[in-house]
Amino acid sequence: MQFNKFILLLAIISPLFSFSQKAPSIIPKPNSIVLNNGMFTIDKNTGIQFADKTLKPTAVYLSDCIKHISGISLTQNAGAKKLIAFVIDKSIAKEGYQLNITEKGITIKASSPTGIFYGIQSLLQTLPAIRTNAPLTVQAMQITDQPRFQWRGMHLDVSRHFFSIEIIKEYLDLMASYKLNTFHWHLTDGGGWRLEIKQYPKLTEQAAWRVDAWGKPWSWYELAFNADKNRSTYGGYYTQEQAKEVVAYAAKLHITVVPEIEMPGHSEEVMAAYPQLSCHSIFHFGQSGDFFASKMEGNFCAGNDSSFTFIQDVLTEVMAIFPSNYIHIGGDEVEKESWKTCAKCQLRIKNEGLKNEEELQSYFIKRIEKFVLAKDRKIIGWDEILEGGLAPTATVMSWRGEKGGVEAAKMKHFVVMTPGSPCYFDHYQAGPEGEPQAIGGFNSLMKVYNYEPIPKELNEEESKFVLGAQGNVWTEYIATAEHLEYMVLPRMPALAEVLWSSKEQRNWDDFNSRLQNHFVAFEQKGLHYCAGNYTVNIVPNTVDGKLLVTLNSEAWNGKIFYTTHGEEPTAQSMPYTQPILIDSSIELKAVVVVNGRVMGLKAARQIFTFHQAMGSEVKYTFPVSDYYKGDGPNTLTDGIRGTAIIGKNWHGFSGKDMVATIDMGSQKSIHKISVGFLQAYNRWIFLPSSVTIEVSNDGVNFTTIQAINNPISTSELQVFYDFTCSFASRSAHYIRVTAKNTNCPEGHPGAGKAAWIFADEIIVE
């Protein structure tokens, strides 16, 4: 089902409200709600009163909302028998509001129309979701509220898959109903250019269209790169008038639209239309969305002044459309190989006194920043803009974990936190069995809700530079409105509460309880959403050298039952009441039961392979990647073997060797050690070139048991391999494993660059 074409002023608002003395199910949760006796009913005798003329659009908005769910037209008449009053009170915090409902009327106070608008959103969430002709009766209450963060955003990639203006507006409606205020519109990327630029017509005549196999998963290996224009089958773009229409629509919802124009990388579509802007002017048109297509000139040539002329011309037209303070200039994943072999780029490096291509990227960003600042705007970019030196006034959007955000905040630059975990809503949120195909990853509703945007590495003063956070929706696998709805609901309201409500107010169980009424509203509105992650989460923890497993579920009012010998669990199996000690090899299965019914498609399952080092502490000479931490620091001794799901149960190392030292707690007699690794060619993950195993009794002096060379070809696409050594029994307290990292092989898109090492378990017998 497509979104309702009627303006969805109430898209997700208005979960059903019980008229008992129970707090309403408002999301985000207000800072303070005081329930009082009595009710107020909105009816045909109700009018809207306001003295400040700037509040007229807000009054029209509320009137339209009420008419949509009831047929009642509210008058703008101070003489009405019953009043909803809007009052400007400059003493109230920015974006904050006070909502007072009595038996006689409703008053919303705020310091600006924006605060009044947010008060309306809370009011609407106490009313029916659809027209039922029931009385619009709300309980008397007082709400005092204000947001925690100023940047409360959602992103949408329209390059990989195009979405109509109607769907964009509906997306904005969803955002507004949860008091989100920033829409990051990802308008350009290798998948297609999506905005009319009058000075460069080929951007919409050619670069907005690509060869595409509709119905197939997004794949940069299946679709032809060198394709003829006449074969282009997929695309679309927004005219400048349409884009202005979106900006105006968003403004009525108190949402700022921040446009993103990608540079200097992720620009394959630009080079398809204007190849003279690339380093080597390879003429091609085909667009496969190939992330490695930068090898085929996906970058702007940083040594060519024509590149900057083009970008400045484009940004001039962009800034005439979008009045936002920020212009997003991308800056991520710049493949610099073309710059290394480009005479113009190398001459630029020499003439500007730059050290390398990283500093060339910084030069590029700083030059664009200077232009944007001259237009009285500011730039924001992905955290790669830190490389080679951060532009003086740039704001950083931290997506590769929080490291970039922390670095920028410590430099006193503003930051928007949007780490892939948990802020990428294109990742799985449940299952993945039974879920629509996603790009990978796993960001469940609870994981999103438990996110804290202020990194622990920042002190109080540095924390002030964190503007807020946003959820990102990349659309490689999201091609329809239905799928888009499903991926953002209910993670969008969860993130909204993280960004609006005070940290002390947030409580998962309370949020989950309130969310149930929103699910009812989703059903009534015909919105697609994920009802929940019913898979039991199996979490191993090391405590005093022992492995304990905890089980938890996000299911509301769910109870967990489990078995330990591979049997399918039911509501009659062992109930989970406390952590489970793993002292032998077992096959653990668990299900969540709600109201006597087993939920989910199948039981969660985990095989634990017991061995002598299970539960032992592990220390690393080089840190584990922030992206691939498995289930914690003891991933290599938790008894769990890795699977083909990248990122789960694996420890990842990039550009560094894995040097892991295990403390088994005491001397033990051992005779065999094996270490498991993964090779996934297309993910830049390769087996180590060699693995050396050493033992020690004092943790200082180690004896080498064996150095094992890798026997597997680097051309194998996917391999699970154990480096194993057997030896005469001997006593050992410590074990050290050194896995030598390597580079991606010749013929690989990353040839010569550091590969990843993925390790899952060190099994000691």
Alpha helices in 600-713, H assignment, sequence order: none
Query: How far apart are the C-alpha atoms of 338 and 691, rounded to whole Å?
Result: 34
Pairing of strands 395-398, 597-598: unpaired
Answer yes or no: 212 catalytic: no
Catalytic-residue membership of 369 = no
Q: Is 56 exposed, middle or buried (0-12, 13-18, 19+ CB in 10 A)?
A: middle
Are 522 and 464 within 8 A, CB to CB? Answer: no
Distance CA 372, CA 376 (A): 7
CA distance 555 to 595: 11
| List 43, 64, 313, 333, catalytic entry | 333
Which tokens belong to 478?
């999201």
In this structure, what are the phi and psi dihedrals at residue 628, rounded to the nearest 5 degrees? -125, 80
Q: What is the number of residues in the chain?
A: 765
User: Looking at 146-231, which runs of residues are DSSP E strands?
Assistant: 151-157, 182-186, 188-189, 192-193, 209-210
Map 256-287 to HEC letters.
Answer: EEEEEEEECCCCHHHHHHCHHHCCCCCCCCCC
Burial 667-706 (b: 16+ CB within 10 A, else e): eeebeebbbbbbbbbebebbbbbebbbbbbeeeeebeebe
In the block, which residue shows the tokens 């070809």?
713
β-pair partners for 137: 41
Helix (H) or strand (E) holding 2: none
C-alpha 190/C-alpha 186 separation (Å) is: 11
- Which tokens belong to 384? 């790669």
- Least Cα distance to 624 among 657, 652, 660 occurs for 652
Rounded Cα distance between 13 and 25, Å, is 10
Answer yes or no: 504 catalytic.
no
Q: What are phi and psi of 581, to 5 degrees?
A: -80, 130
Question: What is each CA distance from 7 to 4, 168, 490, 566, in whole angstroms?
Answer: 7, 11, 20, 52
Q: How far apart are CA 639 and CA 582, in angstroms?
A: 9
Provide the sign of the torsion angle of the four alpha carbons 676, 682, 683, 685, taken in this order.
Answer: positive
Q: Shortest CA distance to 97 belongs to which of 13, 25, 179, 181?
A: 179
Residue 211: CB atoms within 10 Å: 21
Options 157, 189, 426, 476, the catalytic residue: 189
Please state, in angstroms and as integers, the Cα–Cα distance from residue 444 to each residue in 155, 451, 615, following that order.
18, 11, 27
Beta-sheet pairing, 209-210 with 192-193: unpaired
Query: Which is the catalytic residue, given 254, 266, 427, 651?
Result: 266
Output the six-digit token pair for 534.
């019913």
Residue ranges in 411-525 assigned as alpha helix (H): 420-423, 445-449, 460-463, 481-488, 491-500, 508-525
Distance CA 139, CA 714 (A): 67
Nearest by Cα to 329 from 379, 401, 372, 392: 379
Catalytic residue numbers read: 189, 266, 333
